[in-house]
Structure 1
Amino acid sequence: MDFSFSTDDEAFRARARQWLAERLEAPGAPFADLRPTTGGEPPGHRRRLEWERELGAGGWIGLGWAEGTLTRQVVWAEEYARAQAPASLGVVGEHLLAPTLLRHGSPAQQQRFLPGIASGEEIWCQGYSEPGAGSDLASVRTTAAPDGDGWRVDGQKTWTSLSQWAHRCFVLARTEPGSHRHHGLSLLLLPMDQPGRVEVRPIRQLDGHCDFSEVFFDGARADHVVGRPGDGWRVAMTLLSFERGAGMLGRQIGFARELDTVLAEAARTGAADDPVVRERLTRQWAELHTMRCNALRTLGTAEPGSAAVAKLLWGGWHQRLGELAVRVLGPEGATVPGHLHSDVYAVTEAQQRMLFSRADTVYGGSDQIQRNLIAERVLGLPREPRPARPQRP
């Protein structure tokens, strides 16, 4: 297959690379402090919001929304990763909600929400996972009932990225009393600024960061439902299918950079002289290139199971890289640089990579769930036995 880009795509790549360099890499660049290579404390959310609006003003948000722009979305994702640009605060709105609204939303919803996402002015978070409904998303217990021209939402979500900064949230809730599993769900849109009705509790991690939060809804008001009420499962699955699109190719640029770092450390410590380590490093390199070819092959197609296969591939690959990142350091990889009496568990970059990668095979749909999807929906194998629901008295 031909995996090359057209002349127009390469010209677009040059423009994207120049725009990013002028703002992040050139001497005196206005957003140079946002790159991780500068070190120091991570930038605050206000600074990241300024960057989001800069992206919007440059017309770089929403490249994949129109037909015929898929390759440009890929090019932009790759260049964004190469420039080590900051993680986007608008990623949930741009890559998940916006394509879903274009597929299932009403014209009024598209006119209301797409401009705010495209300008970088309105940040979204995703209300899916709950304490008892992570990979098994159909077990959600958050409920919503009609309330005038909107919905009253009650329940709890967890592991909600960006929620402490988001302006709005899309929430999967059960809107039909007595319904079970995939039935009777709806995808609702609600504002986060509802004092006393929406509470965000950041989850503090051992390294002191708060990347996720718990979100509690106590009579929160949702003002929109995407698609038909009760059809939320189909809408939610459409949304998740966008999670592993063109952005996956940009993520692989970051993976390649991480692999280069591990290779350099293996050479520095002498671990590369171990034939077992060399074989594992070679396998990581070969698998990364295979993932890229597979991502390009399935990009923009409706090939059944392609998203599940992609998740299985990169989740396991990144987890194995995290293990290697610490192994090649030897005893150095087992020591913690932080103070013994500090309440913050300081770790090195390699240790952080290893620890965070443990979640790669769980979040976004665990490996077990992905294998079930492939087995049942692609290979046509018998469904996995499920325990019978207890009968109500």
Structure 2
Amino acid sequence: MHQISMLQKYKGPDDASSLSDQPSSLLIPDKRWKWWILVVLNIVFLLLGQAVAVILGKFYFDHGGHTKWMGALVQTAGFPVLFIPLLVFPAPKRVSSSCNNPSQPSLFTLILLYFSLGCLLAIDNYWYSLGLWYLSVTTYSLICASQLIFNVIFSITINSEKLTFLILKSVILITVSASLVAIHPDSSEHDEHGKHSRRRKDHVIGFLCTVGASAAYALLLSLTQFSFDKVLKKETFGVVFEMQIYTSLVSTFVCIVGLFASSEWKTLGSEMETFKLTFKNGELLYVLSLVGSALGWQICTVGVVGLIYLVSSLFSNVVSMLCVPFVPVVGVLFYKEKMDGIKIVAMLLTIWGFASYLYQQYLDDSKAEKEETDSDSGIEDSRLDGISDHKLV
């Protein structure tokens, strides 16, 4: 699969000189441990950031917030904090002339790449914001699982991902899960403040927005992996932060334009006033909910892009599905949402689908490790045969 090739990506600057001095069999375990540590760390970032961001985003909408562009803006506005880890994992410096390094993309190519991905990210965030506004946390999270379906399609067509039986079964299970939620009216979707009821029309709008956002996000993941493999071709983890900073900068600018063009910025004062009337220290809670959501999304996105860099876009998307069983439980505990039988069945199907894909990853990793061991044994045997022939001569 991608494990061996991605392990080779994470070689330090001194590895090239030491590689010729040490047997590859001694290097592989060390690389594998480094790879697994980074993968686990990025999984934690993704799950923790996504859960915190979704919960705080719903808190904002449920207690007086109704600015959809603000909900989209906070998903990327926290990007300046990424300059801190970028100092620890610096991206490779660009050569001033592309003639010195023909494989290096030109400045125009980089600008076009980051601008395109940033605009797609802004549209995707706005659709997700609409979905979270119209739907409950449990329904929203379960429908978001549909992004795996689109990601498989884009991974096959854009990233040349192989479709196995276990991956196909995983997609089918999650498709059924999302379909159950789509056709099932959510008893939790009502307005606690009495402004208006969450009618069937709202459910349909929220469903379409969330599915559209899931499709756009899956496309974004596959294009990001394609950019790493075919365009950027950089071999340090700093490129993850660099890409996130530039695409988030573009997305933040687009969302700010949308915020002012739609005149939604005029309602920000009334939103804070509503928080003030609802809570003690309401202004502080209003600011903290937005800032916390912004930081949560940045932590999540670092995990997402990091997993794309280390493994693949499909694996990154599957890991994000781990939030499906976790976020609905939080919605029941903190927002008093109802967990009916349909949601429980949908959740179990999603977990089953994730387990199928995870088992496929285990099989691929075992196969890659076996092939690497056989390759090392073949090299060693050929060396011994050469020595024996030399002695005979």
Tell me if TM exceeds 0.5.
no
TM-score tier, shorter chain, comes to under 0.3
**Which of the two has higher C-alpha Rg?**
2
Q: Which has the higher strand share?
A: 1
Of the two structures, which has the highest relative contact order with CA contacts closer than 8 Å and spacing of 6 or more?
Answer: 2
